[in-house]
Structure 1
Amino acid sequence: MKYMMTYDLMESTRNTYQWLGASARAYASYPMMSWGTNPGMDWLKAWGEVTERTFARMVVKPDWNIPAISDDKGKDHPVVIKRVLERPFGDLIHFTTPGRKASKRRVLVVAPMSGHYATLLRKTVISLLPDADVYITDWHNARDIPVSAGKFDVEDYTLYLVDFLRELGPDTHVIAVCQPVPLALAATAYLAAEDPKAQPRSLTLIGGPVDPDANPTEVTDFGRSVTMGQLEQTMIQRVGFKYAGVGRTVYPGLLQLASFISMNMETHTDAFRDQIIKSAKGEATEHDKHNMFYDEYLAVMDMTAEFYLSTVERIFKNREIALNSFTVNGKLVDLGKITTVAVNIVEGENDDISAPGQCLAALPLLTGLPDSKKAAHLEPGAGHYGIFAGRSWRQNIRPLVLAFIDANSGDTAKPANKNAAA
């Protein structure tokens, strides 16, 4: 019960800061405060605006906000989101463009379940839509899932991917980003043994921890330095009374956010200080660079306790994927069974989350796959975010990924839209 109380305490603290920000903004906006020049009120209002927005975003799922897509004739087509499969812990969604000729490239983007919503890959989706028929895994916030829905761990995640791939069929190309990279490999190997006809045509694995020990980082060092008991005692709490998932054990999003920010405390402090200054001067806008970034960065979701703990134990500590000893429902998932699915590895030279070599470790594990179906790219100067959503992705990696998809398609897909990355 104490963990439920600490969860509610965190939510109460967040709510209090949101209220303080709103109160400061409202107080400084009273007409009587404008009777004379008072810079102090301008600063108080600016602090209130930034503080209220900051703490309000932490419990709101961002919208996709996908802009219309232009066809070859210059006609705009709105993007409509449809849910193809709905499951308790995540859905398979499809970005459709009514009235637009369907693309021959069918792409499944596998989003990470690592504290942020799938909308973190919004820019990745936007960049792919002009040239592909895009689907994505839309994972749910664990605090909103009733306990009656059961558990969700790395094996369940893998089986969700298996079901999604079966639904989409064999002409699918998978792009897995960060955390789900090893599980996307496992899902493909599972299909290779159980349902070969449902395997995707290609896998593009971007910056994921296939073998965390290949090139250790702060993240992997932390995973090795703490015991599972310590993690369970310090990181796991029970959802409080406010949400539908009351009583479910989770790794809370607010606790994850605190960890994210602590890794780059000085950078975030400077960013918020500068935003308050801009707001006081009247230079801040609703959709400026700061707000666009932090509206997404601060929107966090809870992970189920079993998913978080099994990821740390089985992927990072025991290295079950790296050692090819991962099991699902008691059955060994042998990566050597993958013999026809082309695999492309993408890493960033300056990636401090999943350092170069961790993802590349997948290729030697694919003993049944010919070298002609293996590819790898190391993006010079790119960090973790840049390899799937930044300039490096748009200008260099995206064209390579589309070319890899085309090279491993059953028939020739149309050339990539040269203006799509603009």
Structure 2
Amino acid sequence: MKYMATYDLMESIRNTNEWMGATARAMASYPAFSMTMNPMLQVMAAWGEVTERSFSRMVVKPDWGIRSIPGPEAQDHLVDVVPVVERAFGNLIQFKVRRRAPMARKVLLVAPMSGHYATLLRSTVASLLPDADVFITDWHNARDIPVSEGKFDIEDYTLYLVDFMRALGPDTHVIAVCQPAPLTLAATAYLAGEDPDAQPRSLTLIGGPIDPDAAATDVTDFGRRITMGQLEQIAIQRVGFKYKGVGRLVYPGLLQLQSFMSMNAERHSKAFSDQIMRVAQGEASDHDAHNRFYDEYLAVMDMTSEFYLSTVERIFKNREIAKNEFVVAGKKVDIGAITKVAVMTVEGENDDISAPGQCVAALGMLTGLPDSKKAEHLEPGAGHYGIFAGKSWRLNIRPLVLSFIDANSGAAKVAKLASVKAGA
């Protein structure tokens, strides 16, 4: 089939590099070679170890790795990952803390579907768990979804979010990170028009392209330069016979990873060369900073072709959300219909993916929402990753988001939160 050979070729190249790394590591570590005292053998073994690990991680979904959290009574509480709503293209899951009563704060994290798994938000989840009941959208790898399950585009994505919000109820506080910010805003507006009682209490949009034209980046420039026909020709392939989704048209995760790496090629190259030398000198470890970051960063997933192409065309090129012209299932979604949900935007000053101005544009679109329910924050010196998982999130943004949630909880919730804080 057309494009299937290309998909299998990319997997063959990945597999070959993994094999070459394993071979180099095994050969250079052979005991007899240790008598030669040649330092290049150590470097070769180190190169093989880093290469094998890097290429093997590209096709494996990372584990959440959140085993337990400390409780106020000086005891650890085990954490279970429990599905709440299960669907073909993604589940709603909860991080259920054993032996803990329901928390006053209920948070829904909307994870990006932009090439990485939802586990990219692992540190975000871990930081919120002590203070809230946390749920997250766990999107599935398109290569593992049979063609018989049908299509999945941005309208389907939006309706998934609508169903997830309904399942959690109106006391939910939603946090959307990066790519899903405009669609989460649209899902909230859809509920405002179709099912007002199911709207969440608050909505926090972090580094998302609500209006891509508000500030130019390499991402928006690429979207303007390329035509949809060109994009389909160079980016879309069919899943090979190795996976359950054989024949499904997808935007491959390996292709997206290539784009990610090329954006900061010099920095990534230095990171890997430094790691090889650390391994050769015996200074690296299984869970050091390099491996913790790249085990997650290199793990990529395929997106359905219709989701990827409709995102580029309708969000970036046509700016349907920014122009308030988005249509879901034949119904016009009016952002101005949001009148009760408090909305906060968070941007990073040095964000080179969703530049300052793109996300805060949402506040101007909320014509039916009073200013008292709007908030914005620009984090000085922060890049894209830092505003939801890095130092800026831990030290500054997380406290702001929790305070925003508390300020926009119901009266009963506020009283409960006050009593919890007093008891602490």
Who is 1:81 aligned against? Answer: 81
Who is 1:420 aligned against? Answer: none
Who is 2:27 aligned against? Answer: 27
Cα deviations by residue, 1:359-418 (Å, 9 ceiling, x for unpaired) = 01101111111111111111111111111011111111111100110111112153698x
Letter of the structure 2 residue corresponding to residue 357 of structure 1 = G
Who is 2:417 aligned against? Answer: 414
Secondary structure of 2:403's aligned partner: helix
Letter of the structure 2 residue corresponding to residue 24 of structure 1 = A
Letter of the structure 2 residue corresponding to residue 382 of structure 1 = A
The whole-number CA distance in structure 2 between the counterparts of 1:273 and 1:390 is 23
Letter of the structure 2 residue corresponding to residue 329 of structure 1 = A
The whole-number CA distance in structure 2 between the counterparts of 1:36 and 1:323 is 69
CA-CA distance at 1:30 after TM superposition: 1.7
Who is 1:266 aligned against? Answer: 266
Secondary structure of 1:138's aligned partner: strand
Q: How does 1:91-170 map to 2 (within 5 A)?
A: 91-170=91-170
The whole-number CA distance in structure 2 between the counterparts of 1:103 and 1:44 is 52
Secondary structure of 1:255's aligned partner: helix
Cα deviations by residue, 1:108-161 (Å, 9 ceiling, x for unpaired) = 000000000000000000000010000000000000000000000000000000
CA-CA distance at 1:350 after TM superposition: 0.8
Q: How does 1:349-364 map to 2 (within 5 A)?
A: 349-364=349-364
Count of residues in correspondence between the two structures: 419
The whole-number CA distance in structure 2 between the counterparts of 1:125 and 1:261 is 25
The whole-number CA distance in structure 2 between the counterparts of 1:396 and 1:263 is 27
Letter of the structure 2 residue corresponding to residue 297 of structure 1 = Y
The whole-number CA distance in structure 2 between the counterparts of 1:340 and 1:7 is 47
Q: How does 1:149-298 map to 2 (within 5 A)?
A: 149-298=149-298
Who is 1:305 aligned against? Answer: 305
The whole-number CA distance in structure 2 between the counterparts of 1:145 and 1:2 is 19
Who is 1:60 aligned against? Answer: 60
The whole-number CA distance in structure 2 between the counterparts of 1:57 and 1:95 is 24
Cα deviations by residue, 1:206-230 (Å, 9 ceiling, x for unpaired) = 0100000011111001001000000
Say whether residues 1:319 and 2:288 are aligned partners: no
Question: TM-score with structure 2 length normalisation?
Answer: 0.97
CA-CA distance at 1:44 after TM superposition: 1.2
The whole-number CA distance in structure 1 between the counterparts of 2:275 and 2:399 is 35
| Cα RMSD for the two superposed structures | 1.3
Q: Which runs of 5+ in 2 are unaligned?
A: none
Q: Which runs of 5+ in 1 are unaligned?
A: 418-422
Cα deviations by residue, 1:320-377 (Å, 9 ceiling, x for unpaired) = 0000000001110001111100001111111111011100110111111111111111
The whole-number CA distance in structure 2 between the counterparts of 1:15 and 1:269 is 20
Letter of the structure 1 residue corresponding to residue 347 of structure 2 = E
The whole-number CA distance in structure 2 between the counterparts of 1:296 and 1:414 is 34
Bigger shift: residues 35-44 or 194-203 = 35-44
Bigger shift: residues 68-77 or 253-262 = 68-77
The whole-number CA distance in structure 2 between the counterparts of 1:346 and 1:384 is 11
The whole-number CA distance in structure 2 between the counterparts of 1:267 and 1:163 is 41
The whole-number CA distance in structure 2 between the counterparts of 1:361 and 1:117 is 27
Question: TM-score with structure 1 length normalisation?
Answer: 0.98
The whole-number CA distance in structure 1 between the counterparts of 2:88 and 2:332 is 26
Cα deviations by residue, 1:298-337 (Å, 9 ceiling, x for unpaired) = 0000000000000000000000000000000111000111
Cα deviations by residue, 1:218-263 (Å, 9 ceiling, x for unpaired) = 1001001000000000000000010000000000000000000011
Secondary structure of 1:2's aligned partner: coil
